[in-house]
Chains A and B, each alone.
Chain A
Amino acid sequence: MTTPPKPPFADPAPHQRRPRLAVHKFSSCDGCQLALLNAGEGLLAVAAHFDIVHFAEAGVVDEAAEADIALVEGSISTPDERERIRAVREHSRWVIPIGACATAGGPQAHRNLAHAESWLASAYPQPEHVTALPTATAISAHVPVELELPGCPVSTAQVLTALTSLLAGASPRPEQDKVCLECKRRGQVCVLVAKGAPCLGPVTVTGCGALCPGLGRDCYGCYGPAENPEVATLARRFRDLGLDADAVARRFAYQNIGAAPFTQAVRDWRRPAVGHGDGDD
């Protein structure tokens, strides 16, 4: 844990203009932008305190605009995106990747563990027309970032909390608790212990409000690994619950397969596929 970067509005001199907020899109489903649009009153409050200079899903388009805060959705999956993110970095004082794609590569990062070329060839008759990098990676793999807000989609409450802190001149406080702690604060019954469900709560950072266990479902790690994630220990526990090795690997192979601790678990447990190389499932 290091000292957080200096927030953009910390200078004692009052800034006359309203802070500028941009929302950029890279390889993604737009779900994080939609989550922001669905923030309701929270979005109105944001609009009242920020100049929204770029937010395509909201109809404001000026990708080259200078911004104090750039929320970035999506992974870097194409050569063009690799260049665009550098431009965003240059135009923005704070860069905040939002969502699993931007913080870990998203589901696109499955190809990082596969033969991307053979995948392309199996999906497209003329793969040479597809311009894609062999990997899909997090924003932080390409440019320095000030804060990451994970999740699939991102939690708008976390976005608003971060913006609140930044407006007050303070570095946002990153969420670090594991889903288990949030789950118990809500009085929910542990689905791993009471049902034998292969829940990822013990290694996943919260922010979701322990949503899935609250509905009786096992967490599938959509917020990505928490700090000090004992992934290997949990994977062994899943095996003891009766999952075969591939099933153990698949538990870690959702939106955050590109996050290093989950990538490692997938590599450790996935049986080499027969056929084209190290392919998926």
Chain B
Amino acid sequence: MQAARRGDGHVSAAAEPRQAEVIERVHETRDLFTLRLRLTEPAARAAYRFAPGQFNMLYLPGIGGVPISIASDPDDPTTLDHTIRAVGRVTRVLAGLGHGDRLGLRGPYGRGWPLAAAEGHDLVVLTGGLGCAPVVAAIDYAVARRERFGRLAILQGVKHAADLLWRPRYDAWAALPDTEVRLAADEPDRHWPDHVGLVTDLLGEVRFDPGATFALLCGPEPMMLAGARRLIALGVPDTHIWLSLERGFQCGVGHCGHCQLGPWFVCRDGPVFRFADIRWLLGTPGF
């Protein structure tokens, strides 16, 4: 099962991107959108594989590149979803792309979620904001192999209720057996159906066996640190808590040095890390 690998990152550093085309641009929220991309060369498309948690470098000729995690089903790597916040100089141009537009794509890069190791365990997926994007492929993977995993708890937090994306997906996952979906908003609107406050508050309200759980965390680092500490307090070993980090990825293969976190090249050694390995340094200002 190729998709269970964490990714080997053996993509050449200076290899030029391949052409991709926009199949669809999906408006998600006020500042989030999804680009559904397809590599235009059939051979490249057929050869492309990715592991949940890996990312691509999207590249606009003459403008530059930006790392974006792959948010679509790893069992269909011919179509690659990239959910993006239009906030920087590259992403704001990406936001203007539509059907048929062409751009460059390099990847996939990095090491993804430890899904093979997580089989036979309960899964807790704890995400904040756009942190849900790097785990959605992992959820898709687990849902497609539902029998291999125990209980599944999906917890997503947003700042404003209006920031929640993929409501239909959460509804669909909530309908699966042994699956709980809980949503939290710091600033709810009148229709907010679930928790008001921090998403980490919800860890005590969902069912999982702490001694037989893998936790996948993605979102702002303070939120992940709080979540990891809460999970440990609940009895989840720190070796079973995995975090997806972001740094200034440029090359994607641990050469350009921009993504270093202490001894790690986050693009190559991560972006998914085991909390036990990085907890001594994560959260230290300046790293």
Taking Cβ atoms with an 8 Å cutoff, the residues of A that contact B are 3-4, 6-7, 10-12, 164-165, 168-173
Contacts and interface: CB of A to CB of B under 8 A. Distances in A.
A185 to B, nearest CB: 15
Interface residues of B, number: 12
B95 to A, nearest CB: 8
B93 A3 contact: no
B286 interface: no
B92 interface: yes
Which secondary structure dominates chain B's binding surface?
loop
Nearest to A173: B89
B92 A168 contact: no
Given A169-B96, A171-B89, 4 more contacts: A10-B93, A11-B96, A12-B98, A170-B89
Contacts of B90: 170
B222 interface: no
Contacts of B93: 10, 168-170
A160 to B, nearest CB: 12
A68 to B, nearest CB: 17
B89 A164 contact: no
Given A3-B87, A12-B98, A165 B63 contact: yes
A120 to B, nearest CB: 45
Contacts of B98: 12
Sorted nearest first, the 10 A-B pairs with minimum C-beta distance are: A171-B89, A12-B96, A170-B63, A170-B93, A170-B89, A169-B93, A168-B62, A168-B63, A4-B89, A3-B87
Interface string B94-112: 0010100000000000000
A10 B63 contact: no
Nearest to B63: A170
Contact of A10 (B60, B62, B64, B92): B92
A164 B88 CA distance: 17
A168 B61 CA distance: 9
Contact of B96 (A10, A165, A173): A10
Contacts of A6: 92
Nearest to A3: B87
12 contacts: A3-B87, A4-B89, A10-B92, A11-B96, A168-B60, A168-B63, A170-B89, A170-B90, A170-B92, A171-B92, A172-B89, A173-B89
Contacts of A12: 96, 98
Contacts, number: 34
Interface of B: 60, 62-64, 87-90, 92-93, 96, 98
B64 A173 contact: yes
Nearest to B101: A12
Nearest to B89: A171
Contacts of B60: 168, 170
Nearest to B98: A12
A227 to B, nearest CB: 15
B65 to A, nearest CB: 12
B64 to A, nearest CB: 7
A79 to B, nearest CB: 37
B250 to A, nearest CB: 13
With most chain A CB atoms within 10 A of its CB, the pick from B64, B87, B89, B96 is: B89
A173 B63 CA distance: 9
Given A170-B90, A173-B89, A164 B96 contact: no
A173 B88 CA distance: 10
A165 B60 CA distance: 11
Contacts of B62: 164-165, 168
A169 B95 CA distance: 11
A3 B98 CA distance: 23
Contacts of B64: 170, 173
A168 B92 CA distance: 11
Contacts of A7: 92
Nearest to B62: A168
A170 B88 CA distance: 9
Contacts of B89: 4, 165, 170-173
A12 B87 CA distance: 16
Nearest to A13: B96
Contacts of A165: 62-63, 89
A276 B64 CA distance: 54
Contacts of A169: 93, 96
A145 to B, nearest CB: 17
Contacts of B92: 6-7, 10, 170-171
A169 B92 CA distance: 9
A10 B89 CA distance: 10
Contacts of A11: 96
